[in-house]
Amino acid sequence: FKARHGLDQPIVVQYARWLGRVATLDFGRSLHDGRQVGDQLFEALPRTLLLSSLSLFFAVAIAIPLGVVLAVRHGQPLARVVSGSLFVAYALPSFWVAVMLLLALATDHGWALFPLQGLTGVPADAPVLVRLGDLLRHLVLPVACLSYPLTVVLTRHVKSAMRDALSQEYVRAARARGV
């Protein structure tokens, strides 16, 4: 096994060969099923892009308005509660939050509202609206788990930037003029 995979060579030689293969996009064969790793990556790319783009979209769509509202309403009780909740959410590890969401919303121990795995659960010949609804149901938890950490961080940054902008001289001058 070691000789076949080059593991009997010095680590510098192994690294140089690996780097050369990666530079030519040759990721080798999977030890699990013997298929080309590049092919497996290419197959997973559409799902990865779908999850990533949806997560980024929802993180930005939630974080920017929430950060602006928290900055404008700074000091009010609801803003304090939301800011405190964001602080706690920032401290929680995202993998732990993901596991808790799965336990609460996708298993028999919780409400079992969402599926645990896969991208679809209906046949390919089902009506388009049924397939779309099933796809959305399968995407809710992964997108929520992926967008959660970014939403928290972006909200805090937007709030801070907006507070800085609101304290600028030109904003105070505009407010004094009734704008």
Residue 163: predicted pLDDT: 95
Residue 110: pLDDT band (50, 70, 90) is: confident
Q: 83 with 159: CB under 8 angstroms?
A: yes
**How wide is the angle at C-alpha 23 spanned by C-alphas 22 and 24, nearest 5°?**
90
Residue 4: predicted pLDDT: 86
Q: 158 with 73: CB under 8 angstroms?
A: no
Nearest partner of 137 among 162, 123, 155, 118, judged by Cα: 118
Residue 1: predicted pLDDT: 82
Residue 168: pLDDT band (50, 70, 90) is: very high
pLDDT in tens, 61-83: 999 999 999 999 999 999 999 99
Q: 141 with 105: CB under 8 angstroms?
A: yes
From CA 170, how far away is CA 39, in angstroms rounded? 56
The answer to whether the pTM exceeds 0.85 is no
